[in-house]
């Protein structure tokens, strides 16, 4: 099983820092994954494409949940926005007689645009809200999605959704690359762009400001940070990521319908982000892989178990959700740092050169992230546990 | 005109259920400063218990009692087993653990009983009673309305007129001081969860016969509506939950009746957005406004 980017656990090229490091890693890892896809059978290639699609959304979501400390249950709706943006644009371009890259590229961008606009609106609301309020609002948005599609059924085609014309492998590559491999390529490239973009964003000025606002909004404002605008920007960036994921998913499956973007997907994305490790892009990768692997393995297990047919049918799908739910609760209660945090705290206790500043909560340390850059000296305490955003206690 | 009166009557009965559910969210918020996102899933689990018990005994009342007991037990277990372990962390942790609980409960129900819709009969006639030739309320709606009002009045008495209620309020508002004065804060917190969860179970049991049927996801929308009501009324305000519940219930009934059922979730979304943007602390809240 290949993942879109399987970064080494230990830091390579320690001398290289900053945006250059991020870009170099992206330039090294992405082609490696693209080549690896060539050795995969169609089903595995499809799984890689799916991981890349989920990665777009989880990378965006980890920015909101881990870095900004806001819970969004609405990222499935943002993915759907990307999908609908893609489908509507692609169909319009089909009528204009375009196909191939001339149809796909503008449609993907349109998907990102639509999702970004929705994210901007959510961000405007989210900038004023905290924790449970924003979570409730985004939950209402996800549950209203089928109603939206039905109400504007002339455009959005109700529950059936929109079908999109098929775009296959480009002419020069035919016979060399299979369809599923090509689709995985497209998905991996888009995911690489999203992750690299978000990594640059996180390690740049905006990332610092987001953390400052999360930890103490009042203090951040006193320091001259426009807290609301920072939150709106975070949400918009996150939504663009999720929207690109939705657009690519629509490209791969050639359709978009509200049923595929329900509450279940939103919850799964949240699970992925928490399991991987809040605020860590590497954690988002781990989470995206788990989102594809766990249901697949659970399905295999359910098939292999000697159980009656009707029980097997009930286990199908539900077993994976049950596993994810248990994992979510256990990780949240026992190891808020997620997989990445747990690995890091272990390696940290072995080489105790880096004193842990938060011993009780193993936290993904951005400075350990291969995609992480930024001179550590300029970082405001990078070991601040992202799983534990300390709010200015405003709920009272 | 007749239609308007009928829709208002139905909205009132629906609103009573919403108010009840919102009240359960307010109860747990006041006790633990947590919005319990698993409230709907816990309530639907209790409703399945009611369904089984009613099926075995043939008595709606037995099912109702079983649901209340199951709801209280679930609330107790969730507080003791999960929420206590993450107390004092950010609100984020509470929300995420509750989301995990939703996934566990709903998928477990799916595995145990399957995803199919179980038909649930109302224990009373559902044809509306006509008053002066105008169809108004069905006997079941009336029962729901009375049951909800009785429970709300009972909770009001409990909190304002009994020593236990006084202790619960004290434990919620000033845990440290209450503890010094000999109030068993942690036990009351658990009691608050159990009470809240039982009220939510009651709301779900009353609602399900008027809906399409019982599925593991039957209360998803109820939770969103209850949350909307609680936010509109103010998460701290039981009176707000009552007024908000009736208001939202009537609004949904009118929107469904005149614009179609598919528009109702959109109306709720719009209402939630407007209230959160204009007055995030709720329309009836008296507490200080939240900053930033």
pLDDT tens over chain A, length 396 residues: 444 444 444 566 666 777 888 888 888 888 888 889 888 999 999 999 999 999 999 999 999 988 888 888 889 999 999 999 999 999 999 998 888 888 899 999 999 999 999 999 888 877 777 667 888 888 889 888 888 888 888 888 888 889 988 888 888 888 788 888 999 999 999 999 999 999 999 888 998 898 888 888 889 889 999 988 998 999 999 999 999 999 999 999 999 998 889 888 998 999 899 888 888 898 999 999 999 999 898 888 888 878 787 787 788 778 899 999 999 999 888 877 777 887 777 776 666 544 444 444 444 444 444 443 333 333 334 333 444 443 333 333
Rounded Cα distance between A40 and B224, Å, is: 43
What residues of chain B lie within 8 A of the CB of A137, using their CB?
272-273, 276
Rounded Cα distance between A188 and A173, Å, is: 17
| CA atoms within a 13 Å half-sphere pointing along the CA-CB vector of A203 | 27
Q: Does domain A18-371 have CATH number 1.10.3470?
A: yes
Q: Do A329 and B111 touch (CB under 8 A)?
A: no
Domain ranges across chain A: 18-371
| pLDDT higher than 60, residue B157 | yes
Q: Do B220 and A271 touch (CB under 8 A)?
A: no
Give the one of B90, B231, B292 whose C-beta lies nearest to A218's C-beta: B292
Q: What is the pLDDT of residue B5?
A: 85
Give the one of A65, A139, A322 whose C-beta lies nearest to B111's C-beta: A322
What residues of chain B lie within 8 A of the CB of A388, using their CB?
89-90, 93
Q: Do B104 and A217 touch (CB under 8 A)?
A: no
Higher pLDDT, B25 or B2: B25
Higher pLDDT, A134 or B107: B107
What residues of chain A lie within 8 A of the CB of B228, using their CB?
136, 140
Please state the rounded mean pLDDT for residues B212-218.
87
Contact A62, A280 (CB under 8 A): yes
Tokens 């909190």 correspond to B159
Contact A182, A168 (CB under 8 A): yes
Q: Do B35 and A130 touch (CB under 8 A)?
A: no
Q: What is the pLDDT of residue A228?
A: 87
Q: Do A333 and B97 touch (CB under 8 A)?
A: yes
Which residue is closest to B35 within chain A, CA to CA? Answer: A132
How many Å lie between the alpha carbon of B130 and the closest alpha carbon of chain A?
33
Give the one of B93, B115, B224 whose C-beta lies nearest to A139's C-beta: B224
What residues of chain B lie within 8 A of the CB of A387, using their CB?
92-93
DSSP secondary structure letter of residue B214:
B
Q: Which of B128, B158, B119, B123 is nearest to B13 (CA)?
A: B128
Please state the rounded mean pLDDT for residues B174-202.
91
Length of chain B: 292
Please state the rounded mean pLDDT for residues B3-29.
90
| pLDDT higher than 50, residue B70 | yes
Q: Which of B16, B186, B99 is nearest to A75 (CA)?
A: B99
Please state the rounded mean pLDDT for residues B95-110.
92
Task: Give the Å distances, CA to CA, from B91 to A220, A298, A392.
Answer: 20, 31, 11
Give the one of B100, B231, B269 whose C-beta lies nearest to A328's C-beta: B100
Q: What is the pLDDT of residue A10?
A: 54
**Residue A194: CB atoms within 10 Å:** 27
| pLDDT higher than 50, residue B266 | yes
Among A136, A142, A231, A232, pick the best mutation site for testing chain B contact (most B Cβ within 10 A): A136
pLDDT, tens only, A234-246: 999 999 999 999 9
What residues of chain B lie within 8 A of the CB of A133, using their CB?
231, 276, 280
Most confident of A66-75, A355-364, B17-26, B260-269: B17-26
Gyration radius of chain B over CA positions = 19
Which residue is closest to B228 within chain A, CA to CA? Answer: A136
What residues of chain A lie within 8 A of the CB of B101, using their CB?
325, 329
Rounded Cα distance between B3 and B10, Å, is: 10
Most confident of A236-240, B174-178, B246-250: A236-240
Task: Give the Å distances, CA to CA, from A148 to A126, A131, A154, B119, B156.
Answer: 21, 25, 11, 27, 39
Which residue is closest to B82 within chain A, CA to CA? Answer: A333
Q: What is the pLDDT of residue A393?
A: 38
How many Å lie between the alpha carbon of B103 and the closest alpha carbon of chain A?
5
Q: Integer distance in angstroms from the first to the last C-alpha of chain B? A: 46
Length of chain A: 396
Among B107, B175, B235, pick the best mutation site for testing chain A contact (most A Cβ within 10 A): B107
pLDDT, tens only, A305-347: 787 877 877 887 788 999 999 999 998 888 777 778 877 777 7
Rounded Cα distance between A250 and A161, Å, is: 11
Contact B273, A138 (CB under 8 A): no
Which residue is closest to B173 within chain A, CA to CA? Answer: A396
Q: What is the pLDDT of residue A358?
A: 42
Give the one of A129, A144, A221 whose C-beta lies nearest to B269's C-beta: A144
ipTM field: 0.87
A and B: number of Cβ contacts within 8 A: 172
How many Å lie between the alpha carbon of A289 and the closest alpha carbon of chain B?
19
Q: With bands split at pLDDT 50, 70 and 90, how would you rate the model's confidence at B284?
A: low
Most confident of A225-234, A266-275, B194-203, B265-274: B194-203
Which domains, ranges and CATH numbers included, belong to chain B?
2-123+135-278 (1.10.3470)
How many Å lie between the alpha carbon of A331 and the closest alpha carbon of chain B?
9
Give the one of B103, B115, B265 whose C-beta lies nearest to A328's C-beta: B103
pLDDT, tens only, A281-314: 989 999 999 999 998 988 888 888 787 877 877 8
B263 phi, psi to nearest 5 deg: -85, -20
For the entire predicted model, the pTM comes to 0.83
What residues of chain A lie within 8 A of the CB of B45, using their CB?
none
Rounded Cα distance between A339 and B114, Å, is: 32
Q: What is the pLDDT of residue A349?
A: 66
């Amino acid at each position: 099983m290949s993942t879109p980017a399987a970064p080494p656990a230990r830091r390579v090229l320690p001398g290289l820092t900053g945006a250059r490091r991020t870009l170099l890693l992206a330039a090294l890892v992405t082609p490696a994954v693209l080549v690896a896809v060539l050795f995969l059978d169609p089903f595995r290639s499809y799984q890689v494409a799916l991981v890349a699609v989920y990665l777009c959304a989880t990378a965006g979501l980890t920015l909101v949940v881990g870095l900004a400390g806001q819970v969004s249950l609405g990222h499935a709706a943002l993915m759907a926005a990307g999908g609908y943006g893609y489908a509507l644009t692609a169909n319009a371009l089909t009528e204009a007689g375009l196909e191939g890259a001339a149809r796909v590229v503008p449609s993907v961008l349109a998907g990102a645009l639509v999702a970004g606009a929705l994210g901007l609106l959510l961000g405007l609301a989210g900038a004023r809200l905290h924790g449970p309020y924003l979570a409730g609002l985004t939950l209402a948005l996800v549950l209203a999605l089928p109603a939206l599609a039905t109400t504007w059924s002339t455009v959005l085609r109700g529950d059936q959704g929109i079908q999109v014309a098929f775009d296959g492998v480009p002419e020069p590559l035919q016979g060399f690359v299979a369809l599923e491999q090509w689709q995985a390529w497209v998905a991996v490239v888009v995911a690489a762009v999203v992750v690299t973009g978000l990594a640059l964003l996180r390690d740049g000025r905006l990332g610092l400001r987001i953390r400052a606002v999360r930890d103490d909004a009042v203090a951040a404002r006193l320091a001259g940070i426009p807290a609301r605008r920072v939150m709106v920007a975070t949400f918009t960036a996150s939504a663009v990521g999720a929207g690109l994921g939705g657009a690519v998913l629509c490209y791969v499956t050639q359709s978009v319908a509200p049923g595929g973007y329900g509450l279940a997907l939103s919850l799964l994305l949240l699970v992925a982000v928490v399991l991987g490790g809040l605020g860590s892009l590497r954690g988002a990768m781990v989470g995206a892989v788990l989102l594809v692997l766990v249901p697949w393995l659970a399905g295999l297990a359910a098939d292999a178990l000697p159980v009656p047919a009707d029980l097997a049918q009930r286990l199908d799908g539900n077993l994976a959700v049950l596993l994810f739910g248990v994992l979510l609760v256990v990780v949240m209660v026992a190891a808020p740092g997620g997989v990445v945090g747990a690995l890091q705290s272990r390696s940290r206790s072995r080489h105790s050169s880096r004193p842990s500043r938060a011993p009780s909560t193993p936290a993904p340390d951005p400075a350990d992230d291969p995609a992480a850059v930024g001179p550590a000296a300029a970082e405001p305490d990078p070991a601040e546990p992202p799983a534990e955003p300390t709010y200015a206690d405003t709920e009272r | 005109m007749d239609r308007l009166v009928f829709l208002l009557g139905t909205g009132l009965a629906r609103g009573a259920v919403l108010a009840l559910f919102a009240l359960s969210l307010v109860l747990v918020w006041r006790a633990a400063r947590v919005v319990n996102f698993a409230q709907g899933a816990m309530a639907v689990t209790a409703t399945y218990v009611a369904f089984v018990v009613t099926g075995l005994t043939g008595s709606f009342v037995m099912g109702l009692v079983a649901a209340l007991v199951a709801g209280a037990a679930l609330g107790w277990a969730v507080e003791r087993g999960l929420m206590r372990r993450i107390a004092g962390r950010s609100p984020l942790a509470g929300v995420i653990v509750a989301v995990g609980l939703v996934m566990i409960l709903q998928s477990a129900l799916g595995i145990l009983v399957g995803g199919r819709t179980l038909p649930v009969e109302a224990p009373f006639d559902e044809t509306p009673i006509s008053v002066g030739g105008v169809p108004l309320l069905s006997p079941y709606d009336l029962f729901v309305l009375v049951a909800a009002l009785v429970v709300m009045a009972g909770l009001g008495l409990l909190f304002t007129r009994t020593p236990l209620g006084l202790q619960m309020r004290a434990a919620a508002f000033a845990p440290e001081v209450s503890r010094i004065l000999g109030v068993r804060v942690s036990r009351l917190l658990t009691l608050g969860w159990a009470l809240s969860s039982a009220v939510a179970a009651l709301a779900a049991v009353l609602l399900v016969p008027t809906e399409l049927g019982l599925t593991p996801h039957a209360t998803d929308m109820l939770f969103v509506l209850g949350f909307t009501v609680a936010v509109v009324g103010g998460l701290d305000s039981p009176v707000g939950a009552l007024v908000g519940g009736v208001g939202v219930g009537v609004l949904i009934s009118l929107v469904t009746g005149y614009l179609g059922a598919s528009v109702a979730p959109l109306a709720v979304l719009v209402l939630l957005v407007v209230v959160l943007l204009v007055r995030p602390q709720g329309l009836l809240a008296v507490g200080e406004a939240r900053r930033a």
